[in-house]
Each structure stands twice: as structure tokens, then as C-alpha cells.
Amino acid sequence: MRKPRASCPKLSFVNIKIRSISSVVISGAVIAATTFVPVLATTKRDDGDDPGQGLGTQGAILWFVLLPMAISGIIALLVMGPGWVSTAKKSAENGFLDDPTSADSSIADKPEVAALTYE
């Protein structure tokens, strides 16, 4: 039967510090490598490679900023639009100037709920 080892809190703290420092260094190296590798790719050219013109600033802003924002806005409208329409229909049942907060039903119609509200 083995003897239980006496745990040393100072040793475990050092072990945790070493692990955290090494994980930060390794993740930093991976991020640096992923940003550095494309730079090396521009130095090599294949036979018959004919690169086109570079994308200008306006084109980059259009393709990578405005277009994704427009697509996200369209998707948001498609998702939230039906909820807006159904809420508007419920609030306008008694006319255009009806109180929109009383779309479902009046509290006065339900005495058990009316007793729980504060006025």
C-alpha cells in the first residue's frame, strides 16, 4: 500500500504558474505564426501565375464592412419583422389611437390579477 503524499501548496502554485505562462507563450506563438505565414506566401510565384490588380481601399471597405453589415441588417429584419407586425396588429384592434400596452386584455377583466397589481 502506498503512503499518501503530502501535498505542497507552494509546489502546486509554481506548477500552475508554469502552465499558465507556457500556455500564453504557445498561444502567442500560434497567433504570430498564423499572421506571419501569409507574408511568406507572397514571395513565391508559380509558373503561369498572373496576379490581378489589388483591391483598393473603397473596394475593401465595400466588400468587408458595408456588405456584411447590409446582409446582417436584412437577416435581422427578416427575423424581427414578423414580431413587429403581429404586435402592431394586436395593439390596433380597437383603432389606431388605442393604448398599445393593453394589447392582450384588460387587467380589470380578471379580478385575481387585479388584486395582485399595485395602482
Q: How distant, in Å, are the alpha carbons of 66, 69, 73, 99, 114 from that of 81?
A: 21, 17, 11, 21, 33
Domain extent at residue 33: 8-43
Asked if residue 66 is part of any domain, the answer here is no
Residue 22 has pLDDT above 70, yes or no: yes
Asked if residue 31 is part of any domain, the answer here is yes
Q: How many whole angstroms separate alpha carbon 15 and alpha carbon 11? A: 6
Tell me which residue of 80, 83, 87 sits closest to 104, measured CA to CA.
87
Q: Percent of the chain at pLDDT above 70?
A: 61
Number of structural domains (the chain) is 1
Q: What is the pLDDT of residue 41?
A: 73
Asked if residue 90 is part of any domain, the answer here is no
Asked if residue 61 is part of any domain, the answer here is no
Say what the pTM is: 0.41
Asked if residue 68 is part of any domain, the answer here is no
Residue 58 cell numbers, joined: 473603397
Q: What is the pLDDT of residue 8?
A: 57
Tell me which residue of 106, 74, 103 sits closest to 87, measured CA to CA.
103
Asked if residue 94 is part of any domain, the answer here is no
| Cβ partners under 8 Å of residue 100, min gap 6 | 87, 91
Q: How many whole angstroms separate alpha carbon 114 and alpha carbon 112? A: 6
Q: How many whole angstroms separate alpha carbon 100 and alpha carbon 93? A: 10
Asked if residue 49 is part of any domain, the answer here is no
The pLDDT tens digits for 39-96 are 777 777 777 777 788 889 999 999 999 999 999 999 999 998 888 877 766 666 655 5
Q: How many whole angstroms separate alpha carbon 45 and alpha carbon 30? A: 25
Asked if residue 60 is part of any domain, the answer here is no
